[in-house]
Amino acid sequence: MAEIARVLLHCCHIIGIIAPMTINRANVSAIAEDLYVWLPPKRGWGLANCGLLTGRRTALWIDTPYDPSLAAEFLAESRKRLADGVTVDRIVVTHANGDHLWGAGVLPDAEVIATREALEHIHWEPTPQQTHALVAGGDPDSPLGGYLRRHFGQFDWSQTDPVHPDTVFHGELELRVGEYPVQITGLPAAHTGGDLIVHLPHQRAVFTGDVIFGSTAEQPGDHPSHWAGPLENVVAACERILATGAEIVVPGHGPVLDRAGVREHIAYLGYVRDRAHALHAAGLPALDAARRIIAEGRYPELGLPERLVLTVAAEYRHLDGSEVPNVLEAMGQVALVARELAEA
């Protein structure tokens, strides 16, 4: 946090306001009985999928949009689908990245549910207002400042307070939304420390959070960014999702998948894991290994290849036993590789 504080102090001496960028209206679709998914209209950082499960007297959100404006849009769309007198009174958060959590402020009376392990990630990640200051005040000519402004300048957290879960658990938790069971399972560290999946057996659906980033031939997605790992845990989580028997798989980002789509994602994860291990054994540093995997161009349809920097670095940490860097250091390397790719 010391580095974050230093950058925030630097930002106080820079005058600059980011003009909000328009995000076209998201698509809200019914995907099963009383189950809806909110899909952002484009791919990119921070544009996460969210779910709504409705009952006669209660309703549940699965994840929230990133900032108050997008969350208010999802709330307005949710209310159109609720019975008279029903409110969204619970939110299950698949993990503690802000793009799945920070919109909860539009439902101040809702119970926010997360894993106990997610609390540590909340303390590790900059707060909403710190992030806003970094994006608004960073040097747009620097790799990091320019990258943050380009990819996060469309969001506004200037008045967003941190979200603290009301209910935390370890292992498994079962809820009911009306007649529908909701089975929540905490996972070993994968995308983050604190991931969970939400299985809706009646709807034969699973919300995976960022354990899965969706992509199809018709709707290509982005490369995943995994902060915790190892990738073996991410693969195991995907196998656990298949073991539920669900036919509808809602990833944290990207299009809704079927079971075949999950298997394709497992193959992608296996490729990245195997290449990272081979390059580690050959003595390449993590950043150079990420550059090498990007240059191989195995998945050219996926956007944001620079995010492989995060995933490969996390895998190397498990191989080396090295410490987790702070967020700004990690994102600085992502931004550097993105600039290299743009200039190539």
Which pLDDT does position 60 carry in this prediction? Answer: 98
Which pLDDT does position 19 carry in this prediction? Answer: 36
Cα atoms in the 13 Å half-sphere on the side-chain side of 246: 31
Separation between Cα atoms, residue 274 and residue 295, nearest integer Å = 16
Which pLDDT does position 325 carry in this prediction? Answer: 79
Largest CA distance in the chain: 63
80 is written with which tokens? Answer: 């159109």
Express each pLDDT in 267-317 by its tens digit.
Answer: 999 999 999 999 999 999 999 999 999 999 999 999 999 999 999 999 999
SS3 282: coil
Sheet with 205-213, side-by-side order of all strands: 172-177, 180-186, 196-200, 205-213, 248-253
Residue 114 has pLDDT above 90, yes or no: yes
SS3 38: strand
Residue 109 has pLDDT above 60, yes or no: yes
Per the CB < 8 A criterion, the answer to whether 250 and 208 are in contact is yes
215 is written with which tokens? Answer: 């992509």
Residue 47 belongs to a domain with what CATH number?
A: 3.60.15.10
Dihedral of CA atoms 39, 22, 146, 119 in degrees, nearest 10, equals -40
| Mean per-residue pLDDT, 52-60 | 97
Residue 221 has pLDDT above 90, yes or no: yes
Residue 113 has pLDDT above 60, yes or no: yes
pLDDT band at 18 (very low <50, low <70, confident <90, very high): very low
Strand partners, 37: 29, 51
Express each pLDDT in 176-218 by its tens digit.
Answer: 999 999 999 999 999 999 999 999 999 999 999 999 999 999 9
Query: In the block, which residue shows the tokens 């997610």?
Result: 118
Query: In the block, which residue shows the tokens 């101040």?
Result: 108
Which pLDDT does position 25 carry in this prediction? Answer: 65
Express each pLDDT in 75-88 by its tens digit.
Answer: 999 999 999 999 99
SS3 171: coil
Average pLDDT, the chain: 92
Residue 4 has pLDDT above 90, yes or no: no
Which pLDDT does position 329 carry in this prediction? Answer: 93
Q: Which residue has the higher pLDDT, 21 or 67?
A: 67
Q: Which residue has the higher pLDDT, 179 or 11?
A: 179
Residue 8 has pLDDT above 80, yes or no: no
Total number of domains in the chain: 1
Which pLDDT does position 17 carry in this prediction? Answer: 31
Which pLDDT does position 243 carry in this prediction? Answer: 98
The distance of Cα 51 from the centroid of its chain, to the nearest Å, equals: 14
Length of the chain: 344
Per the CB < 8 A criterion, the answer to whether 163 and 101 are in contact is yes
| Mean per-residue pLDDT, 102-111 | 98
243 Cβ contact list (under 8 Å, min separation 6): none
Q: Where are the alpha helices (DSSP H) in 188-307?
A: 231-243, 259-281, 286-296
Separation between Cα atoms, residue 310 and residue 146, nearest integer Å = 18
pLDDT band at 321 (very low <50, low <70, confident <90, very high): confident
pLDDT band at 326 (very low <50, low <70, confident <90, very high): confident
Residue 113: which domain range? 2-343
241 is written with which tokens? Answer: 């999702």
pLDDT band at 22 (very low <50, low <70, confident <90, very high): very low
107 Cβ contact list (under 8 Å, min separation 6): 61, 75, 87, 88, 91
